[in-house]
Structures are given as structure tokens and as C-alpha cells.
């Protein structure tokens, strides 16, 4: 078996994930908009890799994450860079949101594989230590962040038609969005 330098890089970043001192950030937040911006700045977070489906907009385009767009604007004003990584295969949705939020995007990003996370960090000119991943799914967003040595915050998944494996794995992969009063309809 041959090992490429990329392979060693991967092992190195895994080792870093094991030994890295954890940041003083919560691992979970109910909503994107409830993540405390000040604490991100205090921990020297300079970039955010953002999931799209069921984090910002439900994958059936019914609901918007309440307050998320304003939160993103405020974060940008504080100098935080953004990058969207979406596993979604319907490219037009990603293009729409990339333009609407004025954030570059990669889709399909094939999370949790490290490639697109690394690309996003290179494009932002940031190290893993400076980047936070925000998403609703543990097996893609949280796992992917961990593999490349970034911090992550998992948010509750916006209501959407669940796939069979989401039903099966349930709370292991996602935090259910229970506060149905606190949802914004998506009107394009």
C-alpha cells in the first residue's frame, strides 16, 4: 500500500484533533441566531463554514432559520468570513443562497470528507483553529469538522421530510427542532 503526502496530512490533522485544547465554545446551540458572537470573537474564530440544508433553510424550502440572516450580517460586520459547504445536489438552491447571503459555496461538498473543508479554509486563508463549522448533522458537519481539526456547533435541524436513515438514527445524527412557534416561512 502506498501512502501519499495527502494521506499523511490527513493523519496529522487527526492527531491534532485528538491533542487540541478544546475551545471554550458550546458544542450545541438550538438556533444559529442564538450563537453568541462575542464568544466566537473571544476564541479568535475568524471564519465560519456553514451548512445550508436544514441549518439555514429547510431542504423542502418551507422554513427559514429565524434570525439567521441578520446574525450572519452581524458576524460579517465583525470581520468573520463565511463559506457554505452543502452536500445538496440541487445546485440552483446553493447558487441562490450563495448569492443571497453573498457567501462563496461548494456543492456537492461531500461532507464529512476533508477535501472541501480544506478548500474552504484555504480560500478564507485561515487555519483550522480559527474556523468554526455550524450545521445540523453530526455525521456530516460535526464529524467533518472534527476530521480537519475545526470546532463545531450543532444546531437543531429545521423541520423537513425525514429520510429513512434519519428516522432510524434519529437523535444520534440530529437535534429535533421542537419550537414550531419559532419558525420563519421561506418566501422567495
Total number of residues that touch Mg ion (CB under 5 A): 6
Tell me whether residue 55 or residue 116 sits nearer to Mg ion (CB atom): 55
Tell me whether residue 46 or residue 111 sits nearer to Mg ion (CB atom): 111
Whether the Cβ atoms of residue 85 and residue 79 lie closer than 8 Å to each other = no
Q: Which of residues 47-76 bind Mg ion (CB under 5 A)?
A: 51, 53-55
Whether the Cβ atoms of residue 17 and residue 149 lie closer than 8 Å to each other = yes
List all residues 6 or more positions away from 188 whose beta carbon is below 8 Å from its beta carbon: 61
Q: Tell me 130's DSSP state.
A: G
Q: Least distance from C-beta 54 to Mg ion, angstroms? A: 4
Q: State the binding string over 135-174 for Mg ion (x if CB under 5 A, else -).
A: -xx-------------------------------------
Number of other CB atoms surrounding residue 49 within 10 Å: 29
Tell me whether residue 8 or residue 162 sits nearer to Mg ion (CB atom): 162
Tell me whether residue 55 or residue 130 sits nearer to Mg ion (CB atom): 55
Q: State the binding string over 99-138 for Mg ion (x if CB under 5 A, else -).
A: -------------------------------------xx-
Q: Least distance from C-beta 12 to Mg ion, angstroms? A: 28
Whether the Cβ atoms of residue 163 and residue 142 lie closer than 8 Å to each other = no
SS3 65: coil
3, 19, 105 from 32: Cα distances, Å: 39, 28, 18
Q: Least distance from C-beta 137 to Mg ion, angstroms? A: 5
Q: Least distance from C-beta 102 to Mg ion, angstroms? A: 20
Q: Which of residues 12-51 bind Mg ion (CB under 5 A)?
A: 51
**Helix/strand/coil percentages in the chain, nearest 5:** 40, 20, 40
Tell me whether residue 10 or residue 57 sits nearer to Mg ion (CB atom): 57
Q: How far apart are CA 145 and CA 135, in angstroms?
A: 10
Residue ranges binding Mg ion (CB under 5 A): 51, 53-55, 136-137
Amino acid at each position: 500500500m502506498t501512502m501519499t503526502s495527502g494521506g499523511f496530512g490527513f493523519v496529522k490533522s487527526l492527531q491534532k484533533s485528538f491533542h487540541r485544547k478544546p475551545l471554550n465554545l458550546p458544542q450545541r446551540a438550538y438556533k444559529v441566531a442564538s450563537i453568541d458572537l462575542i464568544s466566537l470573537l473571544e476564541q479568535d474564530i475568524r471564519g465560519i463554514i456553514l451548512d445550508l440544508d436544514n441549518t439555514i433553510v429547510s431542504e423542502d424550502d418551507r422554513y427559514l432559520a429565524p434570525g439567521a440572516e441578520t446574525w450572519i450580517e452581524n458576524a460579517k460586520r465583525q470581520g468573520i468570513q463565511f463559506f457554505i459547504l452543502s452536500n445538496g445536489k440541487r445546485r440552483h438552491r446553493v447558487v441562490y443562497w450563495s448569492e443571497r447571503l453573498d457567501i462563496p459555496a461548494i456543492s456537492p461538498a461531500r461532507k464529512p470528507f476533508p477535501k472541501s473543508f480544506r478548500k474552504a479554509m484555504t480560500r478564507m486563508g485561515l487555519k483550522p483553529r480559527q474556523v468554526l463549522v455550524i450545521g445540523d448533522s453530526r455525521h456530516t458537519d460535526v464529524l467533518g469538522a472534527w476530521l480537519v481539526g475545526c470546532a463545531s456547533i450543532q444546531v437543531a435541524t429545521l423541520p423537513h421530510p425525514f429520510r429513512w436513515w434519519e428516522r432510524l438514527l434519529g437523535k444520534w445524527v440530529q437535534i429535533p427542532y421542537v419550537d414550531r412557534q419559532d419558525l420563519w416561512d421561506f418566501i422567495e
